Each structure stands twice: as C-alpha cells, then as structure tokens.
Structure 1
C-alpha cells in the first residue's frame, strides 16, 4: 500500500521523518495528521475508476480495452436472463459502490430499472448504451456487428477516455483493432448469408432480430414478451407456416426455455442449433459473434 515514500527528492515523508516528528505530543499530532493526509492522497491517486455493467457483452468489450486505472464489474451472469433479473441486496450494494453504471436500456433490464432510476437521482453516473442508437427499438443492439463497430465500441472508447485520459493512445489503438476485427467478420457474414436472403429463422425470442435483418433474413420468435407462454393458436400458426415461410433453421438460447423450439423442430423436421446472445463462455466480444456464426454455418442447410 502506498502510505509513505522514502524519496526525499519529491518531498515525501520518510520513515525517519515520521520518527522525528513523534518527539513530543505536538509532534505526535503532526505525525498523525500528515499520515492521514498521505493515506487519503494515496487512495485517491491510485484507486481505479469502478464501472459496473449489467450484461456480459459490454463487460467483454471494456475488459479488453481497459487499463489498470479502470475496474470493470459485471452485474448479471451470462447464464441469466436480463429481462427477468432482479438484483439481490448484495448486488444492489455493488451498484451503489460504482463510479459509473452502464446498462443496455430499451427495457432489457426490466426489473432493474427502478433501482437504476433511484441511483441516478442520487447523482451517480448511469449510462444507457441504447441511447447511442436512436433508431433501436429491440434491445439486443450489440448483436448487430455494424452497430457494434460504428456506435457501441466508439461510445465505450469515449467513456474510457473521459475517465482515463492519460491512456488515450492505448484506447484509440485497441478500440481500432477491435473495430477492424468486427468489420472483417461482418464481411464474412455478409458473403455467407447472402445465399439465404429472404429465408426465415425461428428462435425462442427476438434476440437476433437485428443480426438476421442486417443480412437479409427474417426472424420469427415464439415468445412475444418475457415470461409469457405461446398460445395454442400461435404454435399452430408457426407449425402451419414452417414451409410457407421457408424456415431453414430453429435456434435455442441458453437463457430461454427449450420446449417450444423442440416441438417446432419435431413437427417440421428442421435442424436445431443454439445461439447465445450473451456469450456465456465467450472470452471476448469477437468470439461471442464468431461462435454464433460457426453455429449458424453448422445448422444451415
């Protein structure tokens, strides 16, 4: 811990100085005073900026970009559904202990919104990433590689620059490297998926709507909202329309129920895969996207 320095050139308090100051009662008081100041200074000067993010994708980006001046913490585990997540007392303390809170918005974190609003009213910095994309309605904005490279990563880079300006060159170069990787993947996706323009994919809920729309495919979802169950009429319409809508694949999600996707797969004899919008086991944002791309290639006919 940075408490005392033995560097007389910088005028810092050495152990010998401290001993000298302790001679006499007044000296003791002076010693305690200067030690307290030294401790407070060291804590303020060397403590990292704490950024708490709600979901895994933004955690992956910030973890890859950050320096030792920034501490990044994730609130919601990637195995959990952020739509239905409600913070525990301990998780609430994590939010209140943060310098900056970064959440997705567009009601992705439904049950967390009252807590975030309360924290914001107390003067904390609370940022919704979705505010950077004015045309977004569906909350799953990070799954569109173009928005990710053109809006989200630059926005997170600017956030880091604002709290850690001394590492400007690092943030500029690392974010550019990340953006270039995503651009290359975007071109791969565009080339591969061009053969499936106009085809339909069915998933549990519309997490990959922007992703498939970006490359000319349609996405039908079984669940309209969160926590609801599809009606018998909804399931019948989906089954009857499997051939008419040229459905080429069905995809499960780790955070969503399996049952209804499996029913459709059995009825339509259509291949099933798993796409993970949050990157449960992904070590980076590019791997989150690439692993989903590999699964698409495995399942598509």
Structure 2
C-alpha cells in the first residue's frame, strides 16, 4: 500500500511539473521574438520591452559579432523572428550573405546616418575568421550615448508600430532609458574633461564615436581582443606610443597579466573598456561604460601628477 501511495504521489508531482512546463512553453511561444546583432542592442531592447518579448542575441560568448558566421540553425531561428534589429553602419558582415525578411528588419541607426564617421580602409586577419576589412564607416555608434538614445528611439517606434508591445509601456521605459543615457553622458563629459590633449592608444578601432563625443585623441592598433600581443604587435605599440607620446592603452577585453606588464615597461597605463558588442560584462553595458570612464579619468590624473 505504501508503495502504491508513493507511486501516486510521484505521478501527481510529475503531472504538475508537466503542466507548469506546458504553461511556460506556451507563454514563451506567445511572446514575440526579437533578434539583435550585438549585445548593446540586446541591452536597449530588453530595457524597452522587459518581459513582453524574448530578446535574443545569438552570437556565442567569445566570438566577435561583427564577423560571426551563423549556422543553418541560427539562420532559421533569425529568419523566423518577429523582428531583427540591425545596428547599421556596416556592423555584422553576415547580414549581407543571408536572406532576411525585409518586413521584419529594423535598421536602428537609419536616422543618424549623417552622424556616421568615415574610416580608412584597413584589411587584416582576425583570429579564425580570415581576412576582413574595417572599411568605410565606424560601426560602434552606441558608444556615443546620444546616438544610443536615437537607436533606442528607433527600437521603441518599431515595436509599437508592429504591435509587439503596448505603446504606453514602451514610451515610459524609453523615457527612463533616455534619462539614464543622458545621465551617463553627463558623467562622462565631467570625468573625461581632464583628458583633453592626452593621446591614447586602443588595441582595436572601436572607439571613434566615444572619442568624438568627448573630444578625445585615440589612435588604434589591430589586435585580437584579449589576446597576448605578439612581438610584432609590441613593436608596433612601442613605435606608436613613442611617436604620439601616448601614456594610456585601452584594451577591448581583459588581456593576460603579462601583456599589461609589458605595456607598463613602455610607460603605458592599461585601461580595459569592453565596448558592448560581444557578450561580456555580466553587469551590463552601463556598468562597463562607467567603469571604463572612471578608469580613464584616474589614468589621466595619475599621468598629470
């Protein structure tokens, strides 16, 4: 009898779990799915939509989303999404090789094209992705908080126009997000004022919009994110730092400790600034931005002493 009672209890628990699973699955299917091409857009979309939509950034951790190559399964998932948020400005080369439903595409930077920064054409190899080119347009637009506001506004308008979320709710969240980005910009303006006339070097050309917004001088190298620089890389760094009298080196991702020590021997103070395109800081885009701005400000103060 006890065994029979135990079996019935287990059956009841299993049935309850199946009901919960079915309900959760149904709710997930009822929510619209929105795919983004980088982590920054994922952050903005989640702030605007919260739990009213499933926001997906499909690029695996540790992979540069600019040059990601989606699998057939990835492409199928993206094509079936209710909305696909593109960054524009040439970001994400894979979109030119994949057929995407035009009616579901939103170019979040379409309204700010007159603010794009034209770059020189530089072709080089990048990890296992083969050769590629940073050609034509700087693409990390969101590193200027004012441009990020414009991209958030484009997302908000699109989700409301397509009835993927309630206009009143989205507008309230947009107001809050706009306020947070404006506050972030004011903080950066104040903190970075001491960097006027200070030349910095970045390990990758990501920071053009950031530099323009805050009147900074940032020269760029072509290093893989977070990788140990080669002897040739270090020679290029030494030459450039001497030429520019640079004292600060911006890393796109946390490098090995040895790399930081080698930079120190060249008189360079290291600052890590994750630009928010890849899956990175668990604290989100704003936290990484504030930390980088604070570290740059401290580095400037130390070099002024």
1:64 maps to what in 2?
47
Question: CA offsets, 1:243-278, max 9 Å, x none?
Answer: 5524231021229x8799759724522111211012
Q: Which residue of 2 aligns with 1:119?
A: 100
Distance 1:260 1:244, change over 3 A: farther
| CA drift at 1:283 | 4.0
Q: 1:133-212 maps to which residues of 2 (within 5 A)?
A: 133-134=112-113, 135-136=115-116, 137-149=137-149, 151-164=150-163, 167-212=166-211
Larger of the two Rg values belongs to structure: 1
What is the alpha-carbon distance in structure 2 between the residues aligned to residue 222 and residue 260 of structure 1?
A: 18
Inter-CA distance 225–126: structure 2 relative to 1 (3 Å threshold)? farther
Structure 1 counterpart of 2:281: 281
The root-mean-square deviation of aligned C-alpha atoms, in Å, is 3.2
Partner of 1:247: 246
- TM value normalised by structure 1: 0.71
Relative to structure 1, the CA distance from residue 56 to residue 274 in structure 2 (aligned partners, 3 Å threshold; closer, same or farther) is same
The structure-2 alpha-carbon separation of the partners of 1:166 and 1:275, relative to structure 1 and needing over 3 Å to count, comes to closer
Number of residues paired by the alignment? 249
Kindly state the Cα deviation for residue 54 of structure 1 after the two structures are TM-superposed: 1.4
**Which residue of 57, 70, 74 corresponds with 1:87?**
70
Determine the C-alpha separation between the residues in 2 that align with 1:126 and 1:140.
19
> How big is each residue's C-alpha offset from its partner over 1:146-188, in whole Å with a ceiling of 9 and x where there is no partner?
2112x11111111121133762221111111111111112111
SS in 1 for 2:247: strand
TM-score by length of 2: 0.70
CA distance in 1, matches of 2:48, 2:165: 14
What is the CA deviation profile of residues 178-205 of structure 1, one whole-angstrom value per residue up to 9, with x for unaligned ones? 1111111211111121111122221121
CA contact (8 A) 1:250 1:261 kept: no
What is the SS of the residue equivalent to 1:133? helix
Query: Gaps spanning 5+ residues in structure 1: where?
Result: 1-42
Q: What's the CA shift string for 1:42-64, capped at 9, x where partnerless?
A: x8xx8222211111111111112
**Where in structure 1 do 4 or more consecutive aligned residues deviate above 3 Å?**
229-232, 234-238, 257-264, 282-285, 297-300
Structure 2: stretches of 5+ with no match in the other structure: 1-25, 117-136
Q: Decide whether the 8 Å contact of 1:86 with 1:111 is kept in 2.
A: yes
Q: For residues 213 and 263 of structure 1, do their structure 2 counterparts lie closer, same or farther at Cα, with a shift above 3 Å needed?
A: farther
Q: Which range is displaced more, 131-140 or 258-267?
A: 258-267
Higher relative contact order structure (alpha carbons within 8 Å, sequence separation ≥ 6) = 2
Maintained 8 Å contact 1:189/1:293: yes
Partner Cα distance (1:106, 1:260) in 2? 35
Deviations along 1:77-100, whole A, 9 cap, x unmatched?
453211221001221121122121
**Paired residue for 1:51?**
34
Asked if structure 1 preserves the Cα contact closer than 8 Å seen for 2:35 and 2:83, the reply is yes
Aligned partners of 1:110 and 1:262: how far apart in 2?
31
Alpha-carbon contact 1:199-1:245 (below 8 Å) kept: no
